[in-house]
Amino acid sequence: MPTLQQAPIKSLRPTQLTIGFIEVEAKRRHLAALSPKGQQKFLESHPMPVVIGPGKKLYITDHHHLARAALEAGVGNGFFTVDADFGSHGLEEFWQKMDEHSWVHPLDQNGVRHHYACIPNQLNQLIDDVYRSLAGFVRDAGGYEKTRTAFAEFIWADFFRRNIAIEDVKSDFHGAVDHAQRLARGPLAKGIPGFKE
């Protein structure tokens, strides 16, 4: 079992461009309602997987929403486990190794791929993709299963992006969640990681 370690939340580096701000806000409210001890206990039970990169910097490969929410809730330290140490590699080789392991996702809020250099260095620089929030809320409501498949929520977000108009998501988010839940259980979603039969 990997060793649990602590690090300042603000020192963690993202491996993607986007998060869903609605989902972040829900997680921030949850953390803010806890005592400092409760916050630490919660974060300890939800460790962030990291890869050590050049300069011994910590790159998180999952739980970006939780990390950003903790940052916004004023939580100082988070817990992490190390999946790999690529600290001896140069930056270009580091990102290639990350891509080989499916630990980086440089797609923007429109599903367009960017160079690794466009990935921000800080959690507070991530941009909003409302479809990421939609995917997170649908998962939490039981629309699909949480899966170990890398970046499965991005796949669901892109599926919803193609099937639900942005105007509908922005004008009635909860209505869009209901619509997305129906889509997630329908024939068009078969084959997406986490699909429920």
- pLDDT (tens digit per residue) in 41-89: 999 999 999 999 999 999 999 999 999 999 999 999 999 999 999 999 9
Q: Are 156 and 120 in contact (CB under 8 A)?
A: no
Rounded Cα gap, residues 189 and 156, in angstroms: 9
What is the third-level CATH fold of 5-128? 3.90.1530
Q: Which CATH class is domain 130-189?
A: mainly alpha
User: Is the pLDDT assigned to residue 12 strictly greater than 90?
Assistant: yes
Where exactly are the structural domains of the chain? 5-128, 130-189
Same topology between domain 5-128 and domain 130-189: no
- pLDDT (tens digit per residue) in 117-144: 999 999 999 999 999 999 999 999 999 9
